[in-house]
Amino acid sequence: MSDKIIVGIVQASPVFMNLEASLAKAIALIQQAAEQGAKLVAFGETWLAGYPAWLDYCPNAALWNHEPTKEVFARLRRNSVVVPGLETEMLSEVAAKYGVVLVVGINERIERGAGNGTLYNSLLTFGADGAILNHHRKLVPTYTERLVWGQGDAAGLEAVETNAGRVGGLICWEHWMPLARQAMHNSGEDVHIAVFPTVHETHQIASRHYAFEGRCFVLAAGLLMKAGDLPAELAAGTESENTPEKFLLRGGSCVIAPDGTYVVEPIFDEEKIIVAELDLTIIDREKMTLDVSGHYSRPDVFDLKINRSSRREK
């Protein structure tokens, strides 16, 4: 592995609630990123096939036994990814074809057996040979997200070895969970993928703090979504219906160095593949002053225990 790697963040809008079309778009964007030299490519939170922003922007979405909401959830479920399944096979093939490490957020569906009514907010990491190296489910869906996603486990709460360094990731508000952060720091990340629906100011703070605390590079990846992409049956009669071109999810993707400074500053309201070269030797220099899993950890005082047993359906 070289000390310098080129990484790419895909800041783009999926084809919301259309898994087949979103996957085709993702494959094309991965090719474009690879053609720009990227050896690590990251997509934002639940990019396949879109973040359920209707939970926040459609006032009636959270009403009990609301028929339009149930229909939207059913559509979300039909357009979610089974792991492993056809969609993961296609992503494996494209990662191997272009020799890239691929990190992508998905809505995950359990197809059969125990828990087959549940969706998860998940993050998949594919190696440059196409193998699925990690499968992390968001530990705690945030607020209204609990209407659509179940709770994950710690089976994927770790960094994995890749030809782009040790790569890990967390999902949105997991970056506010101190023990989840420490578990990831202990796993020795070189590059951390921080996925969000949109990387607004508070999420910028979380991402920059993570880079400083973990002494690693952070790729903060956000999505784009316009009001016109909201489900029609929930947006009807709302302000969003009259402003279809207004950005609800604005991207804000950026690249952050191990000292918390920007390598690439946040980019908003623009579909773009953000490419940057990372010098991994910077990590060694920054570890001198702070290493929260080493000389600054005080294991004689603090003892972190993680239950890594999987709660996943067999």
Positions marked active-site:
45, 138, 172
- Whole-number Å distance between alpha carbons of 136 and 310: 11
Per-residue CA distances from 157 to 23, 195, 278 (Å): 25, 14, 24
Phi and psi at residue 7, to the nearest 5°: -120, 160
DSSP bridge partners of 137: 122
Burial class (CB in 10 A: 0-12, 13-18, 19+), 284: exposed
Instruction: Please report the beta strands in the chain, taking only residues with DSSP state E, as ranges in sequence order.
Output: 4-11, 40-42, 101-109, 119-126, 132-137, 160-162, 165-171, 191-195, 217-221, 224-226, 247-256, 262-268, 272-279
Helices 19-35, 86-98: crossing angle, 10 deg rounding? 10
Query: Residue 219 and residue 256: Cα distance in Å, rounded?
Result: 7
Measured between alpha carbons, how far is residue 297 from residues 188, 214, 259 in Å?
Answer: 13, 12, 18
DSSP state letters, 86-107: HHHHHHHHHHHHHT-EEEEEEE
Count of CB atoms situated within 10 Å of the CB of 81: 25
Dist. CA 89–CA 82, nearest whole Å: 10
